[in-house]
Copies of this chain bind each other. A is one copy, B any other.
Amino acid sequence: MNVLLKDTPRPVPDIPAYSPSGNECALFETAWTRQLPLLLKGPTGCGKTRFVSHMAARLGLPLSTVSCHDDLSAADLTGRYLLKGGDTVWVDGPLTRAVRQGGVCYLDEIVEARKDVAVVLHPLTDDRRILPLERTGEVLEAPPGFMLVVSYNPGYQNLLKALKPSTRQRFVAIEFDFLPKPQEIAVVAAESGLDEAQVAPLVALAHRLRALKGHDLEEGVSTRLLVYCACLIDSGMTMREAVRAAMIEPLTDEPDVRAALLEIADAMIR
């Protein structure tokens, strides 16, 4: 489940490349066929957003993405009345547009959104597949070509921000994790332009740092940071400078933890 592979042997035009690590492509297609909504779980920067782009393109479906946040309300998704020329006119939100037109609607980090959002999804995610618009009095039926995908990162879910069981139980779910080492080396080399031999120790270091998650670190190094690090090296920074700027400073502000990570890095990269 991961990031774009430049120069991979068989790139389909317009389809963002994606390197699967399990049955996630088959599951997505089956969910699509059976009109089941999908929930993607996994850590930051492991490729969930890329996976959705890949599958939507592969199935030839329009994709609309909404990054959820603390203030995202149901009205932001469904639409609201705006004042135009003295009248209030209704303007569809991104979810309503997706339901009207079909295609994949992807709500990224769904647990961040306000709780009324989850409830708007309920009638869309049971056998009714409808979106009632209270404010306009409309009840939209989702066409067969509509699919709802949501994601979240269980790593830093908290009590106030858990998905309610009544929402979770409306989705088929896929657990994502980082790529196995050789696959991740290939991806980082392709993305950054750095050769695989130089990337290998960076990925080894990343795996070592990920093992510290939950102890000294809230979250491990993402594949994205690995790509950043390789880019800096590819542009002429030293390995040590690049590792510090892209793999250590973004992870922690604690002087003790940083010193420990630098020590690990120094031991592993030269």
Determine whether the beta carbon of B232 is less than 8 Å from that of A172: yes
Say yes or no: is A268 at the interface (Cβ < 8 Å to chain B).
no
Determine whether the beta carbon of A235 is less than 8 Å from that of B34: yes
For residue A203, give the distance in angstroms from its CB to the closest CB of chain B. Answer: 16
A87 partner, pick from B76, B85, B108, B174, beta carbons under 8 A: B85
Tally chain A residues at the interface, Cβ within 8 Å: 91
In the complex, which residue of chain B has the Cβ closest to the Cβ of A130?
B65
* Interchain CA distance A180-B67 in the complex, whole Å: 41
- Of the candidate stretches A54-62, A140-148, A160-168, the one touching chain B is A160-168
Say yes or no: is A219 at the interface (Cβ < 8 Å to chain B).
yes
Determine whether the beta carbon of B225 is less than 8 Å from that of A169: yes
For residue A250, give the distance in angstroms from its CB to the closest CB of chain B. Answer: 5
Determine whether the beta carbon of A109 is less than 8 Å from that of B241: no
Chain A, residues 190-230, CB within 8 Å of chain B (1/0): the string is 00000000000000000000000000001101101100100
A235 partner, pick from B33, B166, B250, beta carbons under 8 A: B33
Determine whether the beta carbon of B94 is less than 8 Å from that of A134: yes
Neighbouring B residues of A126 by C-beta, 8 Å: 45, 49, 224
For residue A233, give the distance in angstroms from its CB to the closest CB of chain B. Answer: 10
* Interchain CA distance A118-B69 in the complex, whole Å: 8
Neighbouring B residues of A36 by C-beta, 8 Å: 228, 231-232
* Interchain CA distance A27-B50 in the complex, whole Å: 27
* Interchain CA distance A39-B252 in the complex, whole Å: 12
In the complex, which residue of chain B has the Cβ closest to the Cβ of A36?
B228
Say yes or no: is A261 at the interface (Cβ < 8 Å to chain B).
no
* Interchain CA distance A41-B253 in the complex, whole Å: 8
19 contacts between A and B (CB under 8 A): A26-B237, A27-B237, A34-B235, A36-B228, A36-B232, A49-B126, A66-B132, A83-B83, A83-B86, A83-B88, A86-B86, A109-B119, A126-B224, A156-B165, A165-B251, A169-B225, A169-B250, A172-B245, A175-B258
**A-B pairs, 3 with minimum CB distance:** A173-B249, A154-B253, A165-B219
Additional 17 contacts, C-beta under 8 A, given A44-B165, A66-B132, A69-B118:
A26-B237, A27-B237, A30-B236, A34-B228, A34-B235, A69-B116, A70-B115, A71-B74, A76-B134, A93-B134, A94-B134, A154-B253, A155-B165, A156-B164, A169-B222, A169-B224, A173-B249
